[in-house]
Amino acid sequence: MGAKTDIKEAIESIVDPSNGQTLKDNHAIQFIDITEDHKVSLILGIHKVDEDTKKKLNRALAKVIKLDLGYQGLKITFEALKKQGSVVDEKREITYIGVASGKGGVGKSTVAANLAVALSRIGKKTAIIDADIYGSSIPNLLDLPVELPKADDDQKIIPFKAFDLEVIATEFFLKEDQPLMWRGPMLGKMLNHFFYDVKWADDTEYIIVDLPPGTGDVAMDIQKIIPKCEMVIVTTPHPSASNVAVKAGFAAKQLEHELLGVIENMTAFEAEGKTYAIFGEGGGKTVANKLDVEVLAEIPIQAPKAHKGIYEMHEELGVIYLGLANKIIKKLT
């Protein structure tokens, strides 16, 4: 017994080259036996059972067991480590947040992009999917060129990176001159690719989805793919936007998506200490009341100072977006 413990102690600091952890941390040493003729038998769990790993471990173990401890022989049986309990294989669940609006042009894409950036600034690993097949604008907002993404060896799409976000957009896959009428039927197919075939970072926590304007069809596609999609509804203060936003909200509710709340964008314009309600007042509250949710943020009219579409953290709107991201995280945890 003592001899086996000695062997165990002598080898447990050896590193499994296939995942960089020690045999101790991997709980790799599953069996040790010493034969009468002074030979050692080991059963080892290794992270990746390949020739290279086996060769390296064989060499490291032989050095300790034969040279240092003086045993006559060594026989190792390698087994694949059980997945459970292995930190490396632990995948966090991704939370999808769909940004919908009903009416177009209310700032849905701007909100989606800035919310994603704010989540990332708070330290949440975030990605964004631009699913607006009719007016894809996320690449432009994030200053990304429009080109076809590359695929890895497993044919998974490799997303682009901007502002610490991973980004995939319909626009990357469309030909510029593709007629609008052909785009609708392609969307369902494309969404499938976006949700199943993109190689997101393993530690991705949030994926923001910029949805096309409208009330039903895309929401239904999303429902099929991610039954549990959280939704935020964007509106302006104007009734022309808030009336359709309510419909989009009800459509989402009917599909049993979780409604996180309403974002009122373009709330008012401020200049020289005066506030101008350019698009009227109250749209956000109206939508929130009708859908029985809260107004998560009211975002005034202001152009970003340093970038095309993204507000810096210290700009007034940047601060508002950080607050919005914080509120959403709290609601979800």
Ligand X SMILES: Nc1ncnc2c1ncn2[C@@H]1O[C@H](COP(=O)(O)OP(=O)(O)OP(=O)(O)O)[C@@H](O)[C@H]1O
The residue (of 293 and 299) whose beta carbon lies closer to ligand X is 299
Q: List Cβ neighbours of 231 (8 Å cut-off, separation of 6 or more).
A: 97, 98, 99, 100, 249, 252, 257, 258, 259, 260
Contact call for residues 259 and 293 (beta carbons, < 8 A): yes
The residue (of 188 and 304) whose beta carbon lies closer to ligand X is 304
Enter the DSSP assignment of 173: G
For 239-305, the DSSP string reads HHHHHHHHHHHHHHHHTT-EEEEEEEES--EEETTEEE-TT-S-HHHHHHHHHT--EEEEE-----S
Q: Is the dihedral of CA 248, 249, 253, 254 positive or negative?
A: negative
Is 101 one of the binding residues for Mg ion (CB under 5 A)?
no
User: Taking contact as CB under 6 A, which single stretch among the options 24-32, 51-59, 129-137, 156-164 is the one that binds ligand X?
Assistant: 129-137
Is 248 one of the binding residues for ligand X (CB under 6 A)?
no
The residue (of 135 and 149) whose beta carbon lies closer to ligand X is 135
Q: Looking only at residues 125 through 144 of this chain, which bind Mg ion when binding is defined by CB under 5 A?
A: 132, 137
Q: Looking only at residues 298 through 317 of this chain, which bind ligand X when binding is defined by CB under 6 A?
A: 299, 301-303
User: Taking contact as CB under 6 A, which single stretch among the options 130-138, 179-187, 193-201, 255-263 is the one that binds ligand X?
Assistant: 130-138
Q: Which does 107 bind (CB under 5 to 8 A by kind): ligand X, Mg ion, none?
A: ligand X
Widest CA span in the chain: 93
Q: Looking only at residues 186 through 245 of this chain, which bind ligand X when binding is defined by CB under 6 A?
A: 213
> In angstroms, what is the minimal distance from the CB of 100 to ligand X?
10
Going by DSSP bridges, is the β-strand pair 230-235/95-100 parallel, antiparallel, or unpaired? Answer: parallel
Q: Looking only at residues 99 through 118 of this chain, which bind ligand X when binding is defined by CB under 6 A?
A: 101, 104-110
Binds ligand X (CB under 6 A): choice among 126, 170, 265, 286: 265
Which residues are 184's β-sheet partners? Answer: none
